[in-house]
Structure 1
């Protein structure tokens, strides 16, 4: 199965990021996981949230930001990869001078129903 970036419509997730689902069971052909591009514009951040079921991996492809995992706060830059275990509160803030772009991998696949907003 193959998807084409130009044909994928972006949408806003519950946490406030702009998402393109590059591969997802609801249309991309995968069965158990999803991969998406998330964009956090300059000067903005996602809302703190957690996923009770899904584990996520964020790979920063462009930009820089500040990642919060529960009470741990640290800087992230292009090339960094962050594991977000299920149940862990997290958010990311764009602290750079360009859009923060993140490759987000979720297992099981991302679902609005598995997203609990915390703010």
Structure 2
């Protein structure tokens, strides 16, 4: 059994300017997964930098309200929604709520620095 507590994950600012805590990554823990899982926070009134990943990604909104931008589309997102982001899509998310926007990031195959481009 493998359990990792969010509070024990090191917090850092990602290349897209979101505050991240990496929960699961097959290159960093002894877990047999293809994907990586991170917890992200975008502070009130802030927006992540435009970026794209070589592979697909899913955001699952845990708390808050945001405006999701994928390529030429934008839509308001809220708690309980999952957002599929296709490979190579230009993406960013803006916090339009009154509190922190918190969400999970699932990348398959697992996120690697060389697979992301910040624009």
TM-score range, shorter chain: over 0.9
1:35 aligns with 2:37: yes
Aligned-residue offset at 1:75: 0.3
Partner of 2:87: 86
Q: Write the distance in 1 (CA, Å) between the matches of 2:4 and 2:29.
A: 7
Partner secondary structure for residue 113 of structure 1:
helix
Q: Write the distance in 1 (CA, Å) between the matches of 2:113 and 2:19.
A: 14
Match of 1:48 among 47, 50, 60: 50
Partner of 1:64: 65
Aligned-residue offset at 1:93: 0.2
Aligned residues: 117
Q: Write the distance in 2 (CA, Å) between the matches of 1:69 and 1:117.
A: 14
Question: Which runs of 5 or more residues in structure 1 are unaligned?
Answer: none
Partner of 2:13: 12
Q: Write the distance in 1 (CA, Å) between the matches of 2:67 and 2:30.
A: 33
TM-score of the pair, normalised by structure 1: 0.93
Question: Which runs of 5 or more residues in structure 2 are unaligned?
Answer: none
Aligned-residue offset at 1:3: 1.3
Aligned-residue offset at 1:32: 1.5
Q: Write the distance in 2 (CA, Å) between the matches of 1:24 and 1:94.
A: 26
Task: Please tell me whether the aligned partners of residues 56 and 106 of structure 1 are also in contact (alpha carbons under 8 angstroms).
Answer: yes
1:52-85, Cα deviation, whole Å (9 max, x unpaired): 2x21000000000100010001000111110001
